[in-house]
Chain A
Amino acid sequence: MAVSVTIKGIKEGLLVVVGDGEWEEASRTLLEKLREKADFFRGARLVLQLGGRAMGAADLGKLRDDLGDLQINLWTVLSESALTENAARALGLETALPKPQALPPELPPISPSEDGSVAILVNHTLRSGKSVRFPGHVIVVGDINAGAEVVAGGNVIVWGRVRGTVQAGSEGDAEAVVCALDLAPTQLRIANAIATSPKRRGKADPEMARIKDGQIVAERWKPNEKG
């Protein structure tokens, strides 16, 4: 089945809109179209609009390499699928155009102050070099290794060890907290306060860090006490 692939020029570069259907067919059609005018497209940067298509990093990475062979730079992937966005980010691609455009349907901006209930769940360990930024809360089930960073507008809750850099209340919310089963970050920030971890004595306990009198303090978490 033929898959619709349209190419047009926009301010930021080449916009490619891929319709529904087999990915293999779509990528082949796209590469054929680009090869037809290889000289014209050489050196272009490409914005890929994928709609709701869910794609893994392997397919995106292959397309990036194939485009690289044509000296076309896959720059941005626009998608409504979180899976595709994550894959694109993992490959170091942009997932939004620099300025708000009429192209993707605009989602209302998420405000952390709204009712404090918006959160994302990161269901794996964040290894060195990974970065998670979110205007609401961030929940990590896994570790935050040294060299990884989490920046949240709200709270950061970690079911695991924290060794990397963590920032809660990044928009200035001094009420934000950071909780972890083992809290020993390289650096911890809440609102405008910055702290490093003291040398650990003995076993790690679950802790909650918050601002008290302008300073970050981490306290052992005790059940039956309101956080």
Chain B
Amino acid sequence: MSGTVITVTSGKGGVGKTTTTANIAAALAADGAKVVCIDADIGLRNLDVVLGLENRIVYDIVHVVEGAAKLKQAMIRDKRLPHLFLIPAAQTRDKSAVAPSDMIRICDELRAEFDYIMLDSPAGIERGFRNALAPSNRVVIVTNPEVSAVRDADRIIGLVESEQKGPPSLIINRIKPEMVKRGDMLSIDDVLDVLAIDLIGVVPEDEQIVIGSNRGNPVALDEKSRSGQAFRNIARRIKGEQVPFMDLDKQDGFFSRLGKLIRPGG
């Protein structure tokens, strides 16, 4: 078995990298894949909170890099999904505690055992981003339908391409269909027009995501949630399935009218 390393990144902070990482990982694991998430945001760790595993941390990735713990010891098994693991970041150190070569070594070790290794990148384009990018097989860019977030995504795409890791795929997070209709928010087409990369998901703005993140319950595990459905669809697309995009105009959680392909084959 040789797993795929997926780096989730964005450039800009606060667009939903960590939430996206947690939800895609949960959706993949709920579907039977063996998944490990690595929080590469050393010094500002969050992924443990979003997954609800904060109180189980004993060892973190810096312990592994420095040889104070074995990789297995730092892997925390999810409380709901037996195939989902987390390797947390250190909270009391900074990005320089880990080098790109360390990340490559750790991921090489994990590839043998897992189907997917999800790397949650920190914001920015510096060391932490390079750590998260170095071992990557596939890059997923998260952006919001806002000019500043799209600008930063564009910059990140350029960096990913110049490191010859491309082509990345795109998730547009926190879209509000009513605002797009009024012309007050960039549409999916506006974003794709600038970024010109493959779209693998559109996640609507949803209060449940905030509630789920605070409580450590990813919405992807909530069968009734629309945003959860969006994340489950992304997970299936990552596995190579063809899944039609949801109709975001529908207000209820009923998906009988799937369809409205935004992009053929997307």
Whether the pair A128, B99 counts as a contact (CB closer than 8 A) is no
Whether the pair A57, B164 counts as a contact (CB closer than 8 A) is yes
Whether the pair B101, A129 counts as a contact (CB closer than 8 A) is no
When distances are taken between beta carbons in the complex, the residues of chain A under 8 Å from B154 are 127-129, 145-147
A56-B164, A57-B164, A65-B134 given; A128·B155 CB < 8 A: yes
Selected from A87, A91, A128, A163, the residue in CB contact (under 8 A) with B158 is A128
Asked if A36 is at the interface of the complex by the 8 Å CB criterion, the answer is no
Q: Mark B138-175, 1 if CB is under 8 A from A, else 0.
A: 00000000000001101101110111100000000000
Selected from A87, A91, A125, A128, the residue in CB contact (under 8 A) with B152 is A128
A24 and B194 alpha carbons, distance in the complex (Å): 38
Secondary structure dominating the interface of B: helix
Q: Mark A102-144, 1 if CB is under 8 A from B, else 0.
A: 0000000000000000000000011111100000000000000
Whether the pair A69, B99 counts as a contact (CB closer than 8 A) is yes
Whether the pair A91, B162 counts as a contact (CB closer than 8 A) is yes
A129 and B155 alpha carbons, distance in the complex (Å): 6
Question: For chain A residues 49-77, which have a beta carbon within 8 Å of chain B?
Answer: 56-58, 61, 65-66, 68-69
A91 and B162 alpha carbons, distance in the complex (Å): 8
A161 and B101 alpha carbons, distance in the complex (Å): 39
Whether the pair A127, B164 counts as a contact (CB closer than 8 A) is no
When distances are taken between beta carbons in the complex, the residues of chain B under 8 Å from A57 are 162-164
Whether the pair B194, A61 counts as a contact (CB closer than 8 A) is no
Q: Mark B198-231, 1 if CB is under 8 A from A, else 0.
A: 0000000000000000000000000000000000
Asked if B179 is at the interface of the complex by the 8 Å CB criterion, the answer is no
When distances are taken between beta carbons in the complex, the residues of chain B under 8 Å from A68 are 99-100
The interface centre, meaning the residue of A61, A127, A145 with most chain B CB atoms within 10 A of its CB, is A127
Whether the pair A125, B162 counts as a contact (CB closer than 8 A) is no
Asked if B196 is at the interface of the complex by the 8 Å CB criterion, the answer is yes
Q: How far is the CB of B105 from chain A (nearest CB, A)?
A: 11
A56-B164, A146-B154, A147-B154 given; A129·B100 CB < 8 A: no
When distances are taken between beta carbons in the complex, the residues of chain A under 8 Å from B164 are 56-58
When distances are taken between beta carbons in the complex, the residues of chain A under 8 Å from B158 are 126-130
When distances are taken between beta carbons in the complex, the residues of chain A under 8 Å from B162 are 57, 87, 90-91
When distances are taken between beta carbons in the complex, the residues of chain B under 8 Å from A87 are 162
A130 and B155 alpha carbons, distance in the complex (Å): 8
When distances are taken between beta carbons in the complex, the residues of chain B under 8 Å from A125 are 196
Residue of B nearest to A59 (CB): B164
Q: How far is the CB of B198 from chain A (nearest CB, A)?
A: 15
A56-B164, A125-B196 given; A147·B101 CB < 8 A: no
When distances are taken between beta carbons in the complex, the residues of chain A under 8 Å from B99 are 65, 68-69
Selected from B100, B151, B152, B159, the residue in CB contact (under 8 A) with A65 is B100
A144 and B239 alpha carbons, distance in the complex (Å): 34
Instruction: Tell me the B residues contacting A by CB distance below 8 Å.
Output: 99-101, 130, 134, 151-152, 154-155, 157-159, 161-164, 194, 196
Instruction: Tell me the A residues contacting B by CB distance below 8 Å.
Output: 56-58, 61, 65-66, 68-69, 87, 90-91, 125-130, 145-147, 163
Question: What are some 18 contacts across the A-B interface (CB < 8 A)?
Answer: A56-B164, A57-B162, A57-B163, A61-B163, A65-B100, A69-B101, A87-B162, A90-B159, A90-B162, A127-B154, A127-B155, A127-B161, A128-B158, A129-B154, A129-B159, A145-B194, A146-B154, A147-B151
Contacts A58-B163, A126-B158, A147-B154 aside, 13 further interface pairs with beta carbons under 8 A come to: A56-B164, A57-B163, A57-B164, A61-B163, A65-B100, A65-B134, A69-B101, A125-B196, A145-B154, A145-B194, A146-B154, A147-B155, A163-B194
